[in-house]
Structure 1
Amino acid sequence: MVGSIEIAPFVLPLAQEYRWAKGVQTERRGLIVRVEAWGAEGFGECAPAIHLDTDVTALASEAGALVAGLPPEADDFLSRLDARSAPDRLRCGIAAAWLSARAASKGVALAALLADGAAPADVVPVNGLVTEKTPEHAAARAAALVAEGYRTVKVKCWADPAADLARVAAIREAAPAAHIRLDANEAWDAAWALDHVRALARFDLDYVEQPIPSHRPLAEIAAFRRASPVRVALDESATGPESLDAILAADAADVIILKTQRAGGPDLARRMIRKAADAGVQVTVTVSLESAIGTAVALHVAATLPTPLPDCGIPMGRFLAADLGPMPPVEPGAVMAVPRGAPGLGLRPDAWPLRR
């Protein structure tokens, strides 16, 4: 067997602050992975949690140790990788690169390989993101997104009920026809979160993400969902296929927020999509502020969602001042095309990250 695996760290500056419940970030750190096998190449990205001060050089060494001695052209490559207990985000980057190389060698898109006989979508509808701090700036961002064709805006919230109410009220006034989603990112206290959701419900919300922290008992989260006047989406709680099984068994979510990074790769993300669909639970695919590489992987995963596809939280490119490759653009109608420039991932990174 032949083939190779190349791993390189990167640090990308942000074009603007990324403000959310866990802080304010000014750069994106991660790894890019390249797999060459079967005469084809594939790429993936490992995107650590953005609020962590990750040493990407050390992370690259950890990833290198995980794949040391693994034959890229082995059909059971992922099983061998799993036997080494790869952390989810490292597994995601490695698995995405391997699977996209596998798809490229077969002359098909990664989405088609994941869909396993079904027809994946060509485009994915997307939502816009509002992170601005003041009501005036948040409303202006929402109005601008609607003017660009977005139907849905997702609003980052913090542990400040009064600020949330002021911002959401201003957004609703500025975008009266938009679907509004709120993302608490575990910032709300379970002691007052339900009352807060009841106060916010008058703004006709689509759903609220992770309204109470994921460390709370799942039975408590399920009870919150039953009492909530707004649909409940679980994000941080949905860490992989096993956690999804528990969520579904507890009937704890109306919507699952699926991040390919946290799921551990596109194959495991696809498994979660199937399980949720069988249970009649919506899945919305989002990203972890990834580069063009991770964004492309997320688009391939989202293309396998049941139809009609929900507006997914994928367009984050405006936050990046530099990138690893050509970021898939948001097209008219607030959709992003699944990259199809070539079989596999559909796009290649620029050469410089690998040389670095």
Structure 2
Amino acid sequence: MDRREFSLALARPLGTAKGTIHRREGVLVRVDADGILGVGEATPLPGWTESLADCRAALDAVSDRDAALRTALDADPRDPLAETPSAVTAALDDAPAARHAVESAVLDARGRRDDRPLATLLAADPATGVPVNATLGDGSVAETVDAARAAVDDGFDCLKLKVGAGDLDRDVARLRAVREAVGPDVTLRADANAAWDRETASEAVDAVASLDCSYLEQPLAADDLDGHAALRGRGVDIALDETLATTAVADVLAADAADVLILKPMALGGPARAHAVARRARAAGVVPVVTTTIDAAPARTAAVHVASAIPDVRPCGLATGDALDGDLAPDPAPVEGGVVAVPVGPGVAGDAFDTLF
């Protein structure tokens, strides 16, 4: 298995629970199965995945397992590593970003071998395009309205506003101004990134419900399943994102804590793993939405395939390429008019990423 490390500057700093990030650093992997290549990306995000050092260590542990990875090409593509030797899977168990790279590379090679796009390995009739939301960062009322109008002019009909950085009254004023500016036909979402206590979150639910918001994302701390469950059924859906980094999906569903699950393939351990969670969520009556951890083009494109394999998927958080100041390769799945066209080449994007090695 070949490897190549990379580092990409962000267009603007990214604030996380672990501090502010200025660059995205990761590892590309390439498998060669008798001349059939497959490329995968591991871009760890501390707080969501293992550290970069632990990601490297996990990949070190499987770097000489080419024979095992070739065997995975013939496995069920919905769980391609299921029958891989335990020495491989155990090394990746606590390293979702590393696992994402390996699983993606295997699926890419499988698709190229069989001349099928990745999405068709996961679903019989995937969509040819995926609707996406525009994300509006924290800003003044005027700045937020200007950004919302610009996004709508670019063809987006779903906007996600970051809230929780200031007081609730300020956020409500921003949401109300955007709703008045874009009209009733644009879907609004609000993402609090676990900023509030239960009292503030309860007030927020009533406020955003009155503005016809589609969902309120992660209003409470990641481990507060009971608190999130208590917010449901009050006029706005509750979406969980950060919670999935610390809590098993089975526990989230058992607690009836969410109407929507935000699925990051990098944090869940791979495209097939993410699609399996989406199927499980749907079976439980919970809506899956796919997004990224601000990944480079290979992982972002794989996430597009995952979203397209979910029937009637709602707008996803895949318009994240502009969060990077540069990328590893030209984007094979650019956003146009609020929609991402799914690449039709075999695997993730044909041979689009082979020149990265």
TM-score grouping bracket, smaller chain normalisation: 0.7 to 0.9
Cα offsets for 1:195-242 (capped at 9, x unmatched): 1221232221000111111122x233212224x3311011122349x8
2:178 counterpart SS class? helix
Q: How far has the Cα of 1:55 moved from its partner?
A: 7.2
Name the counterpart of 1:110: 118
With 266-275 and 295-304 compared, the bigger mean Cα shift is at 266-275
Give the distance between the partners of 2:19 and 2:111, measured in 1 at CA.
38
Cα offsets for 1:75-128 (capped at 9, x unmatched): 36723332322411221121111111112111111111122xx11111111111
Instruction: Give yes or no for contact 2:17–2:47 (8 Å, CA) kept in 1.
Output: no
Cα offsets for 1:1-29 (capped at 9, x unmatched): xxxx1222211112334467776543222
Q: How far has the Cα of 1:338 moved from its partner?
A: 1.1
Instruction: Give yes or no for contact 1:25–1:51 (8 Å, CA) kept in 2.
Output: no
Instruction: Give yes or no for contact 1:38–1:102 (8 Å, CA) kept in 2.
Output: no
2:242 counterpart SS class? coil
Residue 145 (str. 1) matches residue 151 (str. 2): yes
Question: Residue 98 and residue 270 in structure 1: after superposition, are their counterparts in 2 closer, same or farther (change >3 A)?
Answer: same
Question: Residue 82 and residue 16 in structure 1: after superposition, are their counterparts in 2 closer, same or farther (change >3 A)?
Answer: same
Structure 2: which 5+ runs fail to align? Answer: none
1:351 counterpart SS class? helix
Give the distance between the partners of 2:214 and 2:121, measured in 1 at CA.
32
Q: Of residues 152, 156, 161 in structure 1, which corresponds to 2:162?
A: 156
**TM norm structure 1:** 0.87
- List aligned pairs for 1:287-306, cutoff 5 A: 287-306=292-311
- List aligned pairs for 1:1-356, cutoff 5 A: 5-18=1-14, 24-49=20-45, 56=52, 58-59=53-54, 61-70=56-65, 71=67, 72-75=69-72, 78=81, 79-80=84-85, 81-84=88-91, 85-115=93-123, 118-160=124-166, 161-177=168-184, 178-216=186-224, 218-226=225-233, 228-239=234-245, 243-306=248-311, 308-327=312-331, 328-332=333-337, 334-340=338-344, 342-347=345-350, 348-349=352-353, 351=355, 354=357
Instruction: Give yes or no for contact 1:325–1:350 (8 Å, CA) kept in 2.
Output: no
1:245 counterpart SS class? helix
Give the distance between the partners of 1:99 and 1:180, measured in 2 at CA.
34
With 77-86 and 245-254 compared, the bigger mean Cα shift is at 77-86
Question: How many residues are treated as equivalent by the alignment?
Answer: 340
